[in-house]
Structure 1
Amino acid sequence: MKYVVYQRVSTKGQGESGLGLDAQERDIQLYLDNYVNDYSVIGRFTDIVSGKVNDRPELTKAIALAKESKATLLVSKLDRLSRKVSFIATLMDDKNLDLKVAQMPHADMFQLHIYAALAQQEREFISKRTKAALKEAKARGVILGGLRRGTEQRNEATKAQADHRANHVFPMIEAFRAKGMTLKETAQELNRLGIETARGGNWYASTVRNVEQRMAP
């Protein structure tokens, strides 16, 4: 089985530090080692650009090589391709392109499409919740002007996103903990399932504990 690996990070800093790329490379290698018997990686491509931008030269090269070589395009997570469900749907409709997502090794094209749509809905909800939080802050008399405005906006947006994510993931954490799993084991399971934290990162024992504390009555 031949694979073309595509990776994407949003900022130059992530690209230079390797932090974002290291995590993607880890997930891709886990997929190849555990779900593929015999494989060869015939190309690796990386873009440093926002997931909202569809015009990505390295992705274009990766897709062309995959189709030309009858290889599978492999990404670590679906949002590395794009954050737009319409763009992902276009790729999935291409009969000459085979696509695999490392973090969802058994998912077929239909399941990936549904996941992309749900992820986009969640991002849209977070955006609306953030705007509502800013409106509430203004009603409480918070001064949103000049440099203070930017600071308050960031703080309110971060809190709103953290609250939403905590509400979303807490039932799973609660279920894992009820089974006797430790904070560390719970974090590992959330990472295995491909569930991100509010900041889009990996889970650790400390972040699981923070969610539990945030949701405590």
Structure 2
Amino acid sequence: MRKVTKIKENNGEHKLKSKLRVAAYARVSTENADQLVSLEAQKHHYEAYIKANSNWEFVGIYYDKGVSGTKKEKRTELLRLISDCENRKIDFIITKSISRFARNTTDCLELVRKLTDIGVFIYFEKENINTQSMDSELMLSILSSLAENESVSISENNKWAIKRRFRNGTYKLSYPPYGYDYLDGEIVINKKQAEVVKRIFADALSGKGSQRIAQELNDEGVPTKRGGQWTGTTVRGILCNEKYTGDLLLQKTYTDETFKRRANKGELDQYFIESHHEAIISHADFEAVNEAIEQRGKEKGIKKGNNKYLNRYPFSGKIICDECGSTFKRRIHSSKTNKYIAWCCSKHLSKIKECSMIYIREDRIHEAFIMMVNKLIFSHKVVLKPLLRNLKSIDYADNLMKVQEIESKIEENTERVKVLVNLMTKGYLEPALFNTQKNELRVEAEKLKEQKKALYRSINGGMNKVTELQQLLKYASKTDQIERFNEEIFEQFVDRVIAFSPTEIGFELKCGVTLKERIER
């Protein structure tokens, strides 16, 4: 007879080993497009990285954007992360580097100790530090101290070097203005461009406005310094630039303690160098032009430097002719009974045979805008919500992966350049071979950067549309019908107005949608 052994049942619960709950923290310090796309790439990377580990449970990604890393109090998402850790929702945190987590030594150590005390640990990818396996805080303290001083020291060193060059007169302009080139380290006149500069000043002295001057230059096919189109802003920049008199005013702007660029209105010293280079315009002509510009501004009640100096009206530069692509200009029309404001195609005004688009009354544009907004308020559930779902469904994962790949290639390219320079310095490379290989790497780097920019534009454009549409939906769902034109609402949601005909216009919204409305003559 076979022997049978009975194995008693285990009344204890069969417990599976619980997964480690992992979250990631990311931060970018500016709101510019490239930085925000970089943030999206980080978020995508961390989500994929955490989910790839079968022993980890993905909790989420916490991220701050457009804030400085020097003070933890300014970073709401970091504080929310700490709060969730204290509430036992997170076991482990992954972040890119100490400088992304904290640039203040005290804050960094305080947070690490607080989290360690409750059993939550941090992994810093760049430094390869895991706070769970650290024997002491010495290395973390050193690295976080370096991170704290990194931005300040770099900024201060740069400022000190620039101010030193200001004082001794050796500061070199990063980019000479239109009309000048660099030759052997000196600013020299570009004769062809200088003739255009002289013409711009002569036209301004004759009473022409900057927009008209720009239009005439474009009509004649005169290229700007970068080969683009002339604008009123470009022309005004030339007319107000003292460099054309041969003088040089340094430190017109400065970077404040929060790393924001500001106009220097007496906060810091400025440095004025007379006869720094050859002049194109006389001091008398320069002063006469700027007095005329200032006088025209006073007549219109606008001070130079005011944010309304260039766009005095909500429709300025925003109404586009569908027939010729020109912008519309504001005009006062008079009849026997009354006066009214109208907007006219600038091409039609200057060359009537090249564009047949006639004027549109401003009050009709107001009425069309009110109608369009009220339609969105009434039907936001059936129009805006489905559109938002469609935009959110677009997956940018492939492009984000490509961004990371390109960034890695750019880093490799930079390292290869450093190796080349090192070999050249030690005499292991012939100068001819060094120059050839360095040029090849430079061309490769430029191509990679262009590819990266193209991806940024694609990703950022889609993400911006989602953000703009969310704001529009929020407004439409919480607002009553409007009865009059609201300039703030127009500025917030409308990118431009397309004039399809004198009786039909379209409002091109910032979320990418164009809505057409019929108007009366």
TM-score above 0.5: yes
Per the alignment, residue 44 of structure 1 pairs with 61
> Which position in structure 2 is the counterpart of 1:62?
81
Q: 1:144 to 1:119 in 2, by over 3 A?
A: farther
CA distance in 1, matches of 2:87, 2:154: 39
How far apart in 1 are the matches of 2:421 and 2:168? 22
Would you tell me which structure has more helix in proportion to its own residues?
1
Q: Distance in 2 between matches of 1:133 and 1:213?
A: 28
Alpha-carbon shift at residue 38 of structure 1 (Å): 0.7
Cα 1:123–1:44 shift into 2, 3 Å: closer
Does residue 92 (structure 1) correspond to residue 112 (structure 2)? The answer is yes
* Counterpart amino acid of residue 207 in structure 1: T
Tell me: CA distance 1:126–1:92, structure 2 relative to 1, closer, same or farther (3 Å): same
SS at match of 2:77: helix
Is the alpha carbon distance of 1:90 and 1:25 closer, same or farther for their aligned partners in structure 2, counting shifts above 3 Å? farther
Structure 1 counterpart of 2:87, which letter?
E
Whether contact under 8 Å (2:166, 2:250) holds in the other structure is no
Q: Which amino acid aligns with 2:163?
A: K
Tell me the distance in 2 between the aligned counterparts of 1:80 and 1:25.
Answer: 17
The 1:213–1:122 alpha-carbon spacing in structure 2 relative to 1, beyond 3 Å, is: farther
Maintained 8 Å contact 2:27/2:100? yes
Q: Read off the aligned partner of 1:119 and give its amino acid letter.
A: A
One-letter amino acid matched to 1:51? G
* Structure 2: gaps of 5 or more residues: 1-19, 172-247, 256-403, 426-521
The two structures have a TM-score, normalised by structure 2, of: 0.28
Query: 1:13 maps to which residue?
Result: 32
1:156-167 pair list within 5 angstroms? none
- Is 1:129 aligned with 2:129? no
CA distance in structure 2 between the aligned counterparts of 1:43 and 1:31, rounded to whole angstroms? 10
**Aligned match for 1:79, one of 88, 94, 99:** 99
* Separation (CA, whole Å) in 2 of partners of 1:140 and 1:16: 36
Task: Give the corresponding residue for 2:478.
Answer: none
Amino acid in the other structure paired with 2:55: D
Map of 1:90-169 to 2, 5 A cutoff? 90-94=110-114, 95-96=117-118, 97-108=120-131, 110=137, 111-141=139-169, 142=171, 145=250, 147=252
**For the residues of structure 1 that align with 2:56 and 2:155, how far apart are their CA atoms?**
41
Q: CA deviation at 1:59?
A: 1.3
Q: Is the 8 A contact 1:7 1:21 kept in 2?
A: no
CA gap 1:205/1:93 in 2 versus in 1, 3 angstroms:
closer
CA distance in 1, matches of 2:111, 2:99: 13
2:26 and 2:96 in contact (8 A); partners too: yes
Tell me, yes or no, if the aligned pair for 2:103 and 2:149 is still in contact at 8 Å: no
Secondary structure of 2:93's counterpart equals strand
Q: Which residue of 1 aligns with 2:339?
A: none
Q: Distance in 2 between matches of 1:37 and 1:204?
A: 31
| Secondary structure, counterpart of 1:204 in structure 2 | helix
Say which one has the larger Rg: 2
The verdict on how the C-alpha distance between 1:52 and 1:144 changes in structure 2, with shifts beyond 3 A counting, is: farther
Matched letter for residue 113 of structure 1? S
Residue 117 to residue 37, structure 1, CA distance change in 2 (3 Å): farther
Offset of 1:40 from its aligned partner? 0.5
Q: Relative contact order (alpha carbons < 8 A, sep ≥ 6): 1 or 2 greater?
A: 1
Contact 1:74-1:99 within 8 A present in 2 as well: yes
- Quote the offset at 1:17 in angstroms: 4.3
TM score, norm. by length of structure 1: 0.59
Alpha-carbon contact 2:96-2:126 (below 8 Å) kept: yes
What is the Cα-based RMSD across aligned positions, in Å? 3.5
Q: Distance in 2 between matches of 1:137 and 1:25?
A: 44
Cα gap change, 1:65/1:12 in structure 2, threshold over 3 Å: closer, same or farther? same
In structure 2, what is the equivalent of residue 154 of structure 1?
Answer: none
Residue 85 and residue 2 in structure 1: after superposition, are their counterparts in 2 closer, same or farther (change >3 A)? same
Q: State the distance in 2 between where 1:140 and 1:213 align.
A: 34
Deviation at 1:209, TM superposition (A): 4.8
Tell me how far 1:86 sits from its aligned partner. Answer: 1.6
Which amino acid letter does the alignment assign opposite residue 80 of structure 1?
Answer: R
Gaps of at least 5 residues in structure 1 are 152-190, 192-200
- Secondary structure at 2:102's aligned position in 1? coil
Q: Check the 8 A contact 1:3/1:39 in 2, yes or no.
A: yes
Residue 171 of structure 1 is matched in structure 2 by none
Residue by residue over 1:145-168, the C-alpha shift from the partner in whole angstroms, topping out at 9 and shown as x without a partner, is 354x659xxxxxxxxxxxxxxxxx
Distance between the aligned counterparts of 1:124 and 1:27, measured in 2?
A: 29
Q: Which residue number in structure 1 is paired with residue 452 of structure 2?
A: none
8 Å Cα contact 1:9-1:21 kept in structure 2: no
What secondary structure does 2:27 align onto?
strand
CA distance in 1, matches of 2:161, 2:47: 37
The Cα of 1:39 is off from its aligned counterpart by 0.4
Q: Secondary structure at the match of 2:157?
A: helix
Task: Tell me the CA shift for residue 22 of structure 1.
Answer: 0.7
Contact 1:77 1:103 in 2 (8 A): yes
